[in-house]
Amino acid sequence: MAAGIRERRFSPSELVEAHLERIARFNPKLNAFVAVDAEGARLQAKDAEAAVRRGQAVGPLHGVPVTIKGSIDVAGMLCETGSRLRAGTRPAADATLVARLRSAGAIVLGNTNVPEMLMAYETDNLLYGRTNSPWDLARTPGGSSGGESAAIAACLSAGGVGSDGGGSIRIPAHFTGICGLKPTPGRIPSTGHFPGSAGPFALLGVVGPLARTVADVEIMLEVMAGPDVRDPTTAPVPLRRPVEGETRRLRIGWFEDDGRTPVTSETRNAVRAAAHALAEQGLEVEPFRPEGLERARQLWWVLFGHAVSMLLRPMVAGREADVSPILKEFLAIVAAEPPLTLELLMNTLLERDALRAKFFAQMEKFPILLCPVCAVPAFRHGEREWPVEGRRVGYLEAMSYTQWFNLLANPAAVVPVGRSPEGLPIGVQIVGRPWEEGAVLAVAAKIEAACGSYRRPSL
């Protein structure tokens, strides 16, 4: 799209109108958007056209329509994080990443739906209702970046921004057949995200790009990346894209399951196909399951489940009638367990660092890991367990394949590879060492090239 605008094959206004027309046609089925700023997008498009006519230097996303998850500040636009407790919240300024997208020429179409306070793998809330998958309206596009994934997969947006504290970029990408990247914490500033980047959110949560191709994800990453002193995890580490020879020397360790949670046969086949594709392209690929995954999941739950619940409970107190069933479900799961103590929290933080050191020592041999994104493809609204390989697999258990890497702070990308018997997309997860997003995306691009790229769902 950006190339077409630079070459004057079409204008930013034509591109925006095409997206607005598609939104008007399909969003009533999907309910992906919280708000569409049609007039604002048209004005941005006219400004973009004027810049092209004047021959001004333009940014890499000049005239490209994008969307922003409804938990990230866009000046003047509602940012309610799907909650009546934040109803009417309108930030005065753009989040840092939004400002950077605009500086690169992107046009913000609107923002997208999320589960309340982002605490679910299914997108539904009392303010805006349920978001549906473009592959099957009876299924979810995932959460918490479900509105983003649905909009991008259905071509209502060229690309967008999600956030991920336990799989919330990667699982929606897997469910809807697009690409997504969970970067290293601090690679893209989380400034302007709610909940804020502090405490457990800073340790686990990131913001990152979703798009239909790896190349598009990479462009968005390059635009948004860079330090911001207001983000407590920020670091001045430059992005580095490996050259072809370096990528071919990467050793890939792959595993079909974690030995605890079974995955569907189609998920196994997708991981095998990706591993085979890399081997066919000359990369050294070996079966390898790293140690420490189960303990990483347990420590992640202490921080994501218990510590986050402690932050949310004061907001909910006295306003329980305004809380969605999905958030009540999350709080009830945590409340049924022993309370978080100071000793448990301190021990969790200490053990997390020790576990990370051991895990990254294993990655000296295999700097890239290849594994499932989730035990199952997109599920039907409201489902909370599934039969997999003769077992009943529960909700949080099925999603555990992403949770490890939030605790460990690895960058991880998702690309679509396979299909379920129902025709639903199945992605694979490519995991790297901290700050090595370039290597992750280089390997992801090789899988994408060999295994087939984005397919548009038939709505």
Candidates 71, 83, 144, 163; catalytic one: 144
Token pair of 55 as six digits: 């021959």
Distances (CA, A) of 336 to 4, 145, 306, 427: 55, 27, 11, 33
Q: Find the Cα–Cα–Cα–Cα dihedral 210, 214, 216, 219, rounded to 10°.
A: 100
- Reduced to 3 states (helix: H, G, I; strand: E, B; else coil), residue 34 is strand
Report how far residue 298's alpha carbon sits from residue 310's, in angstroms, rounded to the nearest whole number: 17
Between the alpha carbon of residue 155 and those of residues 106, 125, 149, 158, 403, the distances in Å are 16, 23, 10, 6, 28
**Separation of alpha carbons 96 and 93, rounded Å:** 9
Q: Say what the alpha-carbon torsion angle 281, 283, 284, 286 is, to the nearest 10 degrees.
A: -70
Give the tokens for residue 238: 């430059």
Is 69 considered catalytic here?
A: yes
Concerning whether 182 is annotated as a catalytic residue, the answer is no
Distance of CA 128 to the CA centre of its chain: 21
d(CA 415, CA 434) in angstroms, rounded, equals 19
**Identity at 438, one-letter amino acid code:** G
From residue 42, give the alpha-carbon distance in Å to each of 13, 37, 109, 110, 243.
6, 9, 9, 12, 39
Burial class of residue 349 in the structure, from the number of CB atoms within 10 Å of its CB (0-12 exposed, 13-18 middle, 19+ buried): middle
111: left (phi over 0), alpha (psi -120 to 50) or beta: beta
CA distance 47 to 179: 30
* Assigned token pair, 207: 């913001």
Distance CA 145, CA 178 (A): 12
| Radius of gyration in angstroms for the set of CA atoms belonging to the chain, rounded to a whole number | 21
Choose, from 71, 149, 163, 168, the residue flagged as catalytic.
Answer: 168
For residues 143 and 175, give the distance between their C-alpha atoms in angstroms, rounded to a whole number. Answer: 10
Tell me whether residue 144 is one of the annotated catalytic residues.
yes
Distance (Å, whole) CA 131 – CA 138: 10
Determine how many CB atoms are found less than 10 A away from the CB of residue 358. 12
Catalytic residues: 69, 144, 168
